[in-house]
Amino acid sequence: MDLSTKIEETRKRFAQELSAASTQEERDRVKNRYLSGPKCVLRGLFGELGRLSPAQKADGGRALNALKGELEEACRALAQQDRREKEHKLPPDPSLPGRLPPLGRRHPVTQTMDDVIEVFARLGFDVVHGPEIENERNNFQALNIPLDHPSRDAFDTFYLEPPWLLRSHTSPVQVRTMLRRKPPIRVIAPGKVFRPDKADASHLPMFHQVEGLAVGEGVTFAQLKGVLLLFAESMFGVGTQVRFRPSFFPFTEPSAEVDISCFICGAKGCSACKGSGWMEILGAGMVHPHVFEAVGLDPGRFTGFAFGMGIERICMLRHGVADIRYFLENHLRFLEQF
């Protein structure tokens, strides 16, 4: 029998014996018999190379090395398959950590709203709510905005069946509160408001405001200033300055636009504050005597201050959000940053 025939026989026998072996132990025995130690089958075949001519020796050596590689590979493949089957049969391991379901979080606008509420709650303001569908009287007339007054254009809204409309600001909650409670009053009213604005980087037809109202005997503009300074420092950091600029609102007199010193550049001037060092954040003023008359309070006895701010705007300032529409697009990659 020549060497190539012996190699062929060995290949067949090995395949038969290996497939007949049913346990890893038996397979190891087959492997050892053919591949391991000085007395193994393969070593015997290599020993026969010595009796061949130099030319045959080279061919025989190549053939034997190929056979050796094949046999080893067959053993490796079987062992691997065996391992996989074993893993498959493993019972569930209750000590493995569970898979967490993805957790939701508060919307950035809600977070800012909650933070604003918390600051004023610490200052003794109650949270009150009013309906989003409001009547014309509470939204306009009782706030000293007569039907044909030009200032009404600034507060235009979506009209439903008369006298109903979607409130254009949270100020009607002032009216509702003063009709229901007697002074002293200290409330904030958070909620949604509606304006027929086209959506762009800084406008949405629906957004959020927080309204504040304090009414009593001897409530002063100085107290308004103190409250808003405390708010600005709590919200934007100690050392934040406030600046009051004269302005006009129908329901307050005097009225002011309130700016805070830019907390990004420290009031030196940057792109966020358009180089001015100041950021406009809210409107405020002393409650107009006409508003007190509309709710049956004596303007000779009571005074009060009111303020209102857009929550989206504050949220954008705090986090450097460039476009108000991001808040409504529901992209998780945006929302997960907050």
Q: Which two tokens stand for residue 304?
A: 């009060």
**Residue 295 interacts with Zn ion (CB under 5 A)?**
no
Judged by beta carbon, residue 204 or residue 279, the one nearer Zn ion is 279
Closest distance to Zn ion from the beta carbon of 320 (Å): 11
Ramachandran region of residue 124, left (φ > 0), alpha (ψ -120 to 50) or beta? left
Q: Which stretch binds Zn ion (CB under 5 A): 130-138, 153-161, 240-248, 272-280?
A: 272-280
Verify binding: residue 318, Zn ion, rule CB under 5 A.
Answer: no
Interface with Zn ion, residue 281, by CB under 5 A: no
Query: Which letter, b or e, does each residue of 81-92 get, where b requires 16 or more Cβ atoms within 10 Å of its Cβ?
Result: eeeeeeeeeeee
Instruction: Work out whether 18 is an interface residue with Zn ion (CB under 5 A).
Output: no
Out of 165, 260, 273, 281, name the contact with Zn ion by CB under 5 A.
Answer: 273
Taking CB under 5 A as the rule, does residue 145 contact Zn ion? no
Q: Which of 304, 284, 295 has the alpha carbon at shortest distance from 142?
A: 295
Distant-in-sequence, close-in-space partners of 222: CB < 8 Å, separation ≥ 6: none
- Coil/strand/helix, residue 186: strand
Give the binding range for Zn ion (CB under 5 A) out of 75-83, 144-152, 189-197, 263-271: 263-271
Question: Using CB under 5 A, which residues numbered 105 to 134 contact Zn ion?
Answer: none
- Check residue 282 for interaction with Zn ion (CB under 5 A): no
Q: Which stretch binds Zn ion (CB under 5 A): 102-110, 169-177, 259-267, 305-313?
A: 259-267
Q: What are phi and psi of 92, to 5 degrees?
A: -55, 140
Strands (E), the chain: 126-127, 133-135, 164-166, 185-194, 206-216, 242-249, 252-261, 278-287, 303-310
Whichever of 78 and 272 has its CB closer to Zn ion, that residue is 272
Sheet holding 252-261, edge to edge: 126-127, 185-194, 206-216, 303-310, 278-287, 252-261, 242-249
Tokens representing residue 189 in the block: 């009213």
Please identify the residue of the shown chain whose CB is closest to the bound Zn ion. 262
Among 187, 262, 294, 311, binds Zn ion (CB under 5 A): 262
**52 near Zn ion, judged by CB under 5 A:** no
Contact status: 335 vs Zn ion (CB under 5 A): no
CB of 240 to Zn ion, least distance (A): 12
What token pair was written down for 217? 């005997």
Of 201-209, 242-250, 256-264, 280-288: span binding Zn ion (CB under 5 A): 256-264
Q: Are 91 and 101 in contact (CB under 8 A)?
A: no
Q: Is 241 in the site for Zn ion (CB under 5 A)?
A: no
Residue span binding Zn ion (CB under 5 A) among the ranges 118-126, 191-199, 268-276, 291-299: 268-276
Scanning 162-170, 254-262, 292-300, 319-327 for contacts with Zn ion by CB under 5 A, the matching segment is: 254-262
Min dist CB 277 to Zn ion, Å, is 6
- CA-nearest of 247, 241, 242, 252 to 214 is 252
Is residue 265 close enough to count as binding Zn ion by CB under 5 A?
Answer: yes
Q: Is position 229 an interface residue for Zn ion (rule: CB under 5 A)?
A: no
Residue 202 Cβ, how far from Zn ion at the closest point, in Å?
17
Closest by Cα among 213, 214, 245, 244 to 229: 244
- One of 264, 295, 328, 335 touching Zn ion (CB under 5 A): 264
Using the minimum distance from each CB to Zn ion, give the nearer residue, 262 or 306.
262
Does position 270 interact with Zn ion (CB under 5 A)? The reply is yes
Q: What is the CA radius of gyration of the chain?
A: 41
Are the beta carbons of 120 and 189 closer than 8 angstroms? no
Residues that bind Zn ion (CB under 5 A): 262, 264-265, 270, 272-273
